[in-house]
Amino acid sequence: MIRSVPYLVTFALLALAFPLASAFDPSALQDFCVAVNDSSSGVFVNGKFCKDPNLVRVDDFFLPGLDIPRSTSNPLGSTVTRITVDNLPGLNTLDISLARLDFAPNGVNPPHTHPRATEVLQVLEGTLYAGFVTSNPNRLFTKILHKGDAIVFPFSLIHFEINIGETNAVALSRFNSQNPGVITIANAVFGSNPLINADVLTKAFQLDKNVIEYLEKQTWWNNNN
């Protein structure tokens, strides 16, 4: 018993040193946790408050209109319509979300990354050229996708799509996150707020500083809705 005292003291010190330590269960502990912007609900899970289960309705799991074509009248010629926990609250804690992608001919979804998800993209109409780049040494994988084809963009890797057909194209993406996030490379590098110091980008891209300053003055379109 005497020899066990130091271990008990050590355990107690560790407990005091890490008062915010927590554990989690890898499996769901309830059927659902419909997101609600109401702190009085009292249960805060995965960035959202849970709606009282007795007040949950089928419309919390329903979102119409995904079949409606979106406008692609913008500089990129594409629009991404995201279906996440923010507009479909029943997705909360379920680790899944969707996006509809509309492309005009030659429309592009520029190089970007989803910091919290892997993506599976399926072409519903048209022909897309799509690809992703690995981490260093930055190997490029590309494929021409036709109607019915699918491609996987691994977790957080930079990827892109462009419509190489003569007609509009439509795709549907699935993500293993209720809120995958998106970082569009050009927007982040040249359109951050505040701007990245031009000297940093001049050195990083090995370009004339005037070129960097020109790029930073441009309007970088966000095609995500």
Q: Would you give the end-to-end CA distance of the chain in angstroms?
A: 64
Whole-number Å distance between alpha carbons of 83 and 104: 21
Is 112 annotated to bind a ligand? Reply is: yes
Structure tokens of 31? 């059927």
Whole-number Å distance between alpha carbons of 54 and 187: 43
Whole-number Å distance between alpha carbons of 91 and 4: 48
Is 146 annotated to bind a ligand? Reply is: no
The angle at the Cα of 121, spanning 89 to 47, to the nearest 5 degrees, equals 25
Smallest CA-to-CA distance from 78 within 193, 214, 176, 225 is with 225
Say whether 147 sits in a helix, a strand or coil.
coil
- Are the beta carbons of 109 and 76 closer than 8 angstroms? yes
Q: Report the run of H or E that residue 197 belongs to, with start and end.
A: none
Is 138 annotated to bind a ligand? Reply is: no
Is 114 annotated to bind a ligand? Reply is: yes
Strand partners, 82: 99
Cis peptide, bond prior to residue 194, ω within 30 of zero: yes
**Residue located via tokens 């949950």:** 56
Q: What is the CA radius of gyration of the chain?
A: 23
Q: What residues form the annotated binding site?
A: 109, 112, 114, 119, 159
Q: What residues form the annotated binding site for oxalate?
A: 109, 114, 119
Q: What residues form the annotated binding site for Mn(2+)?
A: 112, 114, 119, 159
